Amino acid sequence: MANRARAAYRRRAPGEPRALGYLYIAPALLVFVAMVIVPLGQSVWYSLFNWDGLSVATWVGVDNYTALFSDPTLRGPFLHALVLLVFYALLPISLGLLLAVVMSRVRVRGLTFFRTVLFLPQVLAMVVVAVTWRWIYAPTGLLNQALRLVGLGGLTASWLGSFSLALPAVGVAGTWVGFGLCMVLFLAGVQTVPRERYEAARLDGAGPWQEFRAVTLPALRPQIAVAATLTIVAGLRNFDLIYLTTAGGPGTSTAVPAYEVYHRAFEIGQVGSAAAVGIGLTVLIFALTVVVSRLVEGHE
Amino acid sequence: MTTTSPYSSRRALTSRALATIAVCGALALGACGAPGSGSSPHPKAKSPSSISTNPAKAGKVTLSVWDQEVRGGQNAEITQLNKEFSAKYPNVTIKRTSKSFSDLKTTLKLALSGNNPPDVVEANQGYPDMVAFVKAGMLLPLDAYAQAYGWTKRYPASLLALNKVSSDASHFGEGKLYGLSQMGEYVGVYYNKTTLKQLGLTPPTTWSELVADLSKIKAKGELPIQFGNLDKWPAIHTFGTIQAATAGKQDVRNLVFGTGHAAWTSAPSVQAAKTLQEWATKGYFPSGVNGVGYDDANKQFAHGKGVFEITGTWEAATLKGPMGSSLGLMPTPPGSKGLASTGGESLAFGVTSKSKTPDVAAAYIDFITNPHAADVMLRTGNLPAVPGQAASSLSSASLEGQMVAGWQKINSADGLVPYLDYSTPTFYDTITAALQDLIGGKSTPRQFTETLQADYSKFRQG
Domain with residue A146: its CATH number is 1.10.3720.10
Same domain, B331 and B435: yes
Look at residue A57 and tell me if it is in a domain. Answer: no
Look at residue B64 and tell me if it is in a domain. Answer: yes
**What pLDDT was estimated at residue B347?**
93
Same domain, A7 and A103: no
Same domain, A159 and A128: yes
pLDDT at B41 over 60: no
State the total domains in chain B: 2
Selected residues 28-57 of chain A with any CB under 8 Å from a CB in chain B: 37-38, 41-42, 44-46, 48-49, 51-57
Model confidence, pTM:
0.84
List chain A residues with CB under 8 Å of B422: none
List chain A residues with CB under 8 Å of B433: 248-249, 251-252
A241 or B317, higher pLDDT? A241
**What pLDDT was estimated at residue A278?**
95
Mean pLDDT of the region B66-76: 88
Same domain, A97 and A150: yes
pLDDT at B203 over 50: yes
Look at residue B454 and tell me if it is in a domain. Answer: yes
pLDDT in tens, A95-115: 999 998 888 777 777 888 888
List chain A residues with CB under 8 Å of B113: 54
Nearest-by-Cβ selection for A161 from B37, B106, B230: B230
Contact A51 B35 (CB under 8 A): yes
Look at residue B405 and tell me if it is in a domain. Answer: no
Question: CA of A286 to nearest chain B CA: how many angstroms apart?
Answer: 20
Same domain, B245 and B331: yes
A252 contacts chain B (CB < 8 A): yes
Question: CA of B135 to nearest chain A CA: how many angstroms apart?
Answer: 7
Same domain, B339 and B207: yes
**What pLDDT was estimated at residue A33?**
94
**What pLDDT was estimated at residue A9?**
56
Same domain, A12 and A139: no
Look at residue B244 and tell me if it is in a domain. Answer: yes
pLDDT band of B38, cuts 50, 70, 90: low
pLDDT in tens, B354-389: 999 999 999 999 999 999 999 999 988 889 999 988
Asked casually if ipTM beats, i.e. exceeds, 0.85, the reply is: no
Look at residue A17 and tell me if it is in a domain. Answer: yes
Look at residue B211 and tell me if it is in a domain. Answer: yes
Nearest-by-Cβ selection for A139 from B34, B287, B429: B287
Mean pLDDT of the region A20-32: 91
List CB contacts of B323: < 8 A, sequence separation 6 or more.
B192, B302
Contact B230 A246 (CB under 8 A): yes
pLDDT at B114 over 70: yes
**What pLDDT was estimated at residue B29?**
43
Selected residues 218-247 of chain A with any CB under 8 Å from a CB in chain B: 246-247
pLDDT in tens, B321-345: 899 999 999 999 999 999 999 999 9
Contact B36 A56 (CB under 8 A): yes
Look at residue A56 and tell me if it is in a domain. Answer: no
**What pLDDT was estimated at residue A281?**
94
Same domain, B217 and B320: yes
Look at residue B322 and tell me if it is in a domain. Answer: yes
Question: Which is it for strands B180-181 and B92-98: parallel, antiparallel or unpaired?
Answer: unpaired
If you average pLDDT over every residue of chain A, what do you get? 88
Nearest-by-Cβ selection for B289 from A59, A161, A266: A161
What CATH number should be reported for the domain holding residue B192?
A: 3.40.190.10
Look up the domain containing A156 and give its range: 63-295
Look at residue A159 and tell me if it is in a domain. Answer: yes
Same domain, A216 and A189: yes
As beta bridge partners, residue B183 has B384
Same domain, B127 and B276: no
Question: Which is it for strands B184-192 and B327-331: parallel, antiparallel or unpaired?
Answer: antiparallel
- Please report, rounded to a whole number, the percentage of residues in chain B having pLDDT higher than 70: 91
Enter the DSSP assignment of A14.
T
Residue of B262, B258, B118 lying closest to B175 (CA atoms): B258
Same domain, A235 and A160: yes
Mean pLDDT of the region A255-277: 90
Same domain, A31 and A80: no
Contacts 24+ apart (CB under 8 A), B282-286: B282/B215, B282/B218, B283/B218, B284/B214, B284/B218, B284/B223, B284/B224, B284/B225, B285/B223, B285/B224, B285/B225, B285/B226, B285/B227, B285/B439, B286/A139, B286/B223, B286/B226, B286/B227, B286/B228
Contact A48 B287 (CB under 8 A): no
Same domain, A77 and A125: yes
Look at residue A300 and tell me if it is in a domain. Answer: no
Same domain, B340 and B444: yes
Look at residue B430 and tell me if it is in a domain. Answer: yes
Same domain, B323 and B355: no
Look up the domain containing B301 and give its range: 185-344+416-461
Same domain, A235 and A288: yes
Question: CA of B29 to nearest chain A CA: how many angstroms apart?
Answer: 8
**What pLDDT was estimated at residue A208?**
85
Tell me the H-state helices in B150-289.
Answer: 151-154, 157-162, 193-198, 207-219, 234-247, 249-257, 267-281
Look at residue A190 and tell me if it is in a domain. Answer: yes
- d(CA B23, CA B17) in angstroms, rounded, equals 10
Nearest-by-Cβ selection for B16 from A59, A139, A162: A59
**What pLDDT was estimated at residue B393?**
87
Question: CA of A267 to nearest chain B CA: how many angstroms apart?
Answer: 7
State the total domains in chain A: 2
List chain B residues with CB under 8 Å of A48: 19
Mean pLDDT of the region A30-44: 94
Look at residue A88 and tell me if it is in a domain. Answer: yes
**What pLDDT was estimated at residue A182?**
94
pLDDT in tens, B223-256: 999 999 999 999 999 999 999 999 999 999 999 9
If you average pLDDT over every residue of chain B, what do you get? 89
Same domain, B178 and B146: yes
Helix, coil or strand: residue B64: strand
- d(CA B332, CA B340) in angstroms, rounded, equals 7
pLDDT band of B273, cuts 50, 70, 90: very high
pLDDT at B317 over 80: yes
Look at residue B17 and tell me if it is in a domain. Answer: no
- Please report, rounded to a whole number, the percentage of residues in chain A having pLDDT higher than 90: 58
**What pLDDT was estimated at residue A6?**
55
pLDDT at B9 over 70: no
Is the separation of the CB atoms in B321 and B302 below 8 Å? Answer: yes
Contact B291 A159 (CB under 8 A): yes
Selected residues 263-282 of chain A with any CB under 8 Å from a CB in chain B: 263, 266-271
Same domain, A39 and A84: no
Same domain, A151 and A12: no
Same domain, B173 and B136: yes
List chain A residues with CB under 8 Å of B24: 45
Same domain, B317 and B265: yes
- d(CA B53, CA B360) in angstroms, rounded, equals 8
**What pLDDT was estimated at residue A159?**
94
**What pLDDT was estimated at residue A285?**
93
**What pLDDT was estimated at residue B110?**
84
Contact A249 B290 (CB under 8 A): yes
List CB contacts of A7: < 8 A, sequence separation 6 or more.
none
Same domain, A122 and A269: yes
Nearest-by-Cβ selection for A249 from B19, B109, B436: B436
**What pLDDT was estimated at residue B39?**
53
Same domain, B274 and B258: yes
List chain B residues with CB under 8 Å of A271: 35
List chain A residues with CB under 8 Å of B12: 61
Look at residue A245 and tell me if it is in a domain. Answer: yes
Least confident of A57-71, A107-121, B323-337, B399-413: A107-121
Same domain, B233 and B287: yes
pLDDT at B11 over 70: no
Q: Of A118-122, A210-214, B332-336, give the range with the top mean pLDDT.
A: B332-336
In a mutagenesis test of the A interface, which of B436, B437, B439, B451 is the best target, namely the one with the most A β-carbons within 10 Å? B436
